[in-house]
Structure 1
Amino acid sequence: MESILVIEDNPDTREWLKALAEEAFPGARVDEEATLEAGRAALEKGYNLALVDLSLPDGSGVDILIDIQTGHPDTFAVVTTIYDDDRHLFDAIRAGAKGYLLKDQPRERLVAQLKGIARGDPPLSPGVSRRILRYLAGGARRTESDAPRLTDREMEVLGLLSRGFNRHEIGKALDITANTAAGYVKSIYRKLHVSGRAEAIREAIGYGLVSTGRPEGD
């Protein structure tokens, strides 16, 4: 790991995570950001690893994970959080997290888990691993066949949403009015049982309805 981005709003915790990253990957450049928007801007520089807090002052770290998965697939995203529950865990995994570390672990264990990335070991806290195994054992994984039925046009709109298009841009791309595009977006939200773009993309990725890579030509 040559470059690492830490996205964490608490200054003390941010410095602590930076120190952990420097210990795990000596010589790596470690940058820090405290907000969702600053993290998004920093990602444009390109990083090998991102340590992402889920609770940020201007939004959810899940939105950053979606950005990484759809626009920066070469960045290895790891959640660093206090949240030890299924909702936060599986939302993060569906959004693209490759690891999920709880901050209350001993320092040496966290460093060892980060070092394991170089060996191909996913950095997961022990309790998190047990939750994932329990989830898989219960056959709860969602597939595209489980997904809500979207029309062909709604799938087109969803694909453009996942690329960051707003309703005016969607309308122009599909040769429809912005109001018609907004109607399709509302229908998608209703069928996916979500209330916003980030949630819609997260659910769509979870069901395999949209690609997780950067579209060709972007």
Structure 2
Amino acid sequence: MTVEPVAARLCLLIEDQPRTRDWMLVVLASAFPDLRIETAGTLKAAHAWLDRHGAGLWLAIIDIGLPDGSGVDIVRRLNRDHPQVLPVVATIYDDDAHLFEAIAAGARGYVLKDEEADLLVNYLRRIERGEPPLSPSIAHRMLSHFRAPAVVKDEAGLSPRETEVLTLLARGMTVSEAASRLSLQPQTVASYVKVIYQKLCVTSRAEATREAVRRGLA
């Protein structure tokens, strides 16, 4: 009797930063050794891939901040067209706006890319037990959202982590130095800097520092 080999489960990793993509590939391979992983670096490429292979997909790991749009569009498409797929957001954004937009779109998990690799592996393995992979800070944020009174937010919408990064930059630290202080990868801090510049509507460290001083952060 011939036993047909079991096909490997298929995952689509959507991430535009090469170093982060390589790091996430290692994390996914550690979490699911039998996983076959395909990658896409833009929203357009992800949609094109789904047009061809969406029916066979098991898991999608989705960055939100893509060069040509929001990864939430992919979450929404999977929830609508491929409900058998598990869409999990992997991002640096830890604010309520991004979190609840993704959850409302159909995300089945939400993890932060600045976690240690071993922790991310453990969070993702919860999928095998039918549990949603959530970074602890995200789980706490979800609970706090429903039990805490409304608070005044930063006028530019900076998250606590973004405020930390801005503070260190305003104190003269380089991206690498700030990453070391926060126990993060340099590319993660560089991504935060990009988001901070966008939110503050600035284009240079000098302008960002002035905004930090105005906020009393430096």
Q: State the 1:138 CA deviation.
A: 5.4
Aligned with residue 119 of structure 2, among 101, 109, 115: 109
**Which residue of 146, 150, 155 corresponds with 1:136?**
146
Output the amino acid matched with 2:64: L
The aligned counterpart of 1:18 is 25
Q: Which residue of 2 aligns with 1:6?
A: 13
Pick aligned residue for 1:57 from 44, 57, 67: 67
Q: For residue 97 of structure 1, give the secondary structure of its aligned residue in structure 2.
A: coil
RMSD: 1.6
Gaps in structure 2 of 5+ consecutive residues: 1-7, 151-218
User: Is the aligned partner of 1:121 residue 2:109?
Assistant: no
CA distance, structure 2, for counterparts of residue 137 and residue 94 of structure 1? 19
Instruction: Using structure 1 for the length normalisation, give the TM-score.
Output: 0.61
Alpha-carbon spacing, 1:12–1:94, altered in 2? closer, same or farther (3 Å):
same
Give the Cα separation in 2 of the matches to 1:111 and 1:21. 7
Q: 1:29 to 1:83 in 2, by over 3 A?
A: same
Residue number in structure 2 paired with 1:42: 49
Alpha-carbon distance in structure 1 between the residues aligned to 2:113 and 2:31: 15
Aligned equivalent of 1:28:
35
Q: Could you tell me how far apart the structure 2 residues matched to 1:98 and 1:11 are?
A: 25
- 1:67 — aligned with what? 77
Q: After TM superposition, give the deviation of residue 43 of structure 1 in Å.
A: 2.1
**Residues 120-170 of structure 1, C-alpha deviation per residue, up to 9 Å, x if partnerless?**
111000010011112233599xxxxxxxxxxxxxxxxxxxxxxxxxxxxxx
Which whole-Å CA distance do the structure 2 matches of 1:134 and 1:108 have between them? 26
> How far, CA to CA, are the matches of 2:110 and 2:80 in structure 1?
19
Task: State the partner residue of 2:176.
Answer: none
- What amino acid maps onto 1:102 in structure 2? L
Offset, 1:37: 1.2
Q: Secondary structure at the match of 1:17?
A: helix
Scaled by the length of structure 2, what TM-score is found?
0.61
CA distance in 2, matches of 1:29, 1:111: 16
Higher relative contact order (CA 8 A, sep 6+): 1
Structure 1 vs Structure 2: percent identity of aligned residues?
Answer: 48
